[in-house]
Structure 1
Amino acid sequence: MTSPVRCACCGAELADPQRIDVRFGLPDAALSLPEDEVLHVNGGLLAVKDRGSFARCLLPVSLSGDFELVLGTWMKISDADLERTAAVWEEPEYAELVLGGTLANDIRPWGMLGAELTAEVRDTEDIPYAASSTDGLLDRVLHGVWDRDDVLSCFGHELPVAVRTSLTEEWSVERSAGLMGQVVDGRSEFAAEDRAVYTEVLIDNGTRTPEEFLESMLDGAPEVPPEHRTTFRADDGMLRHAFWHAVEVDDEERQQFYGFVVRPGSAVVVGCMYGDPALHGWAMHVLRSVNYVS
């Protein structure tokens, strides 16, 4: 019997492992407002003081590798459509609902805030789906196929799949499934409750060999036993080095893993923090995932 595929974020069984759901909690117009100015008509409808009426909708995006990203986003609708939709939300007439309006969230990497769209009900158990648009870009988003990593790396949400994330135009690293992502002071960071990754791209003066550059970066590093360090070249030919040791953090033992990927002129440093020593293999995978494309 085949084991069920489970979400890397929460462990829940995935009905469709090729579908990735990302939800926008509010329309952009309501993000900075106090709660008393946002009226929740029901789970899919909002009325925002002085800013109009909004309905939730699903925006499906086809991604490479036969993945589908389904964005739970918002559309701005007329006040009359809000009243009409609320009246049929739990009624048989909901199956025939068609809504016209404009996209109410700015969605990376495309933007599209304010783009015209039409949404319709495909399944009475779901909120309406964005079906068509007179906006050229939104129409291409709805009907084209987009690079999975280019799109998913724009979302800091926990995702059930690993995503290759650009650090610079040339350097990239894999963000593991289940990790949230953010950029802090120009550096990509990924984290979950039990582990975290910190990255930094360093530029050399171009005259040192990778070995000399690595030696300079290791100056002042803690001494660790031979079994807690490794140096190797992977198939890509780049020099890789790592060392790891345990430290005390808030009265708990934590593992610190420092990895270096070095080529002439530049390097990537990855720092992995985790509690369970069994995650060492995961940290090595992060190190091996670092890639450079000129």
Structure 2
Amino acid sequence: MIFAKKHTCEMCGRATAAHDRDVRFRLPDPVLHSPEQHRVEDSWLSDPDPNKATLMQIPNISPFVRALLPVRLEGGHEFRYGVWIAIHPDDLQHACRVWNAPEYSDLKLTGYLANRIEPWGLFAVPVNLAVLDPDHTPYCVSSPDEDLNDVLTKEWPHDILASLP
């Protein structure tokens, strides 16, 4: 009984593992909904497995970079989406050049959310990225979109976990 309590959130009763976790989108929504997805001719992924890729270029759709979108929960917990961000082709080239170099720590990008984020229904809204930890993909740090900026800056009640994947 004590063991179970140790791994249960005192605020909401859910397992603490449901709070501090990452949910990674396999592909950007526009790619997921395209006929050949990431296998279209002349596509490029930084890893053959889209679950491991951090950069991709899909002809006639967009270049993308993977980023972390943090959602702060009450009580100091954080839920993170591993999202895809549509970026400008020049930004993809720059990201490729610095990804495994010391300059990666200074990488800042702008783009558009390429995965639908529920329960807020956010999609294709502008977002600013920055590297906060050189061992992680860039983080979504701000947005001129008020709703996305709220997701990034507010602390959310634990009941929101019920609607997350």
TM exceeds 0.5? yes
Residue 22 in structure 1 maps to residue 23 in structure 2: yes
Give the number of the structure with larger relative contact order, counting CA–CA contacts within 8 Å between residues 6 or more apart: 2
How many angstroms does 1:66 deviate by?
2.7
How many angstroms does 1:17 deviate by?
8.3
Alignment: residue pair count: 143
Counterpart in the other structure of 1:183? none
Residue 141 in structure 1 maps to residue 151 in structure 2: yes
- Equivalent residue in structure 2 for 1:36, among 34, 39, 42: 39
Structural mapping, 1:189-208, within 5 Å: none
Measured in 2, the distance between the counterparts of 1:32 and 1:75 equals 16
How many angstroms does 1:124 deviate by?
0.9
How many angstroms does 1:20 deviate by?
1.7
Residue 154 in structure 1 maps to residue 163 in structure 2: yes
Equivalent AA in structure 2 for residue 89 of structure 1: W
Superposition TM-score, scaled by structure 1 size: 0.46
Structural mapping, 1:1-294, within 5 Å: 19-33=20-34, 34=36, 35-37=38-40, 38-42=43-47, 43-150=53-160, 152-156=161-165
How many angstroms does 1:111 deviate by?
1.4
Q: Is the partner of 2:163 in helix, strand or coil? A: coil
* Identical amino acids, percent of aligned pairs: 36
Equivalent AA in structure 2 for residue 20 of structure 1: R
Please provide the CA RMSD for this pair: 2.0
Measured in 1, the distance between the counterparts of 2:95 and 2:76 equals 33
Measured in 2, the distance between the counterparts of 1:41 and 1:20 equals 24
Superposition TM-score, scaled by structure 2 size: 0.79
Q: Is the partner of 1:153 in helix, strand or coil? A: helix
- Structure 1 residue runs of 4+, over 3 Å off? none
Gaps of 5+ in 2: 8-16, 48-52
Measured in 1, the distance between the counterparts of 2:18 and 2:31 equals 32
Gaps of 5+ in 1: 7-15, 157-294
CA deviation digits over 1:43-82, x for unaligned, max 9?
A: 2101112011100000111112332111111111000100
How many angstroms does 1:91 deviate by?
0.6
Structure with the greater alpha carbon radius of gyration: 1
- Structure (1 or 2) with the greater strand fraction: 1
CA deviation digits over 1:166-203, x for unaligned, max 9?
A: xxxxxxxxxxxxxxxxxxxxxxxxxxxxxxxxxxxxxx
Measured in 2, the distance between the counterparts of 1:84 and 1:153 equals 39
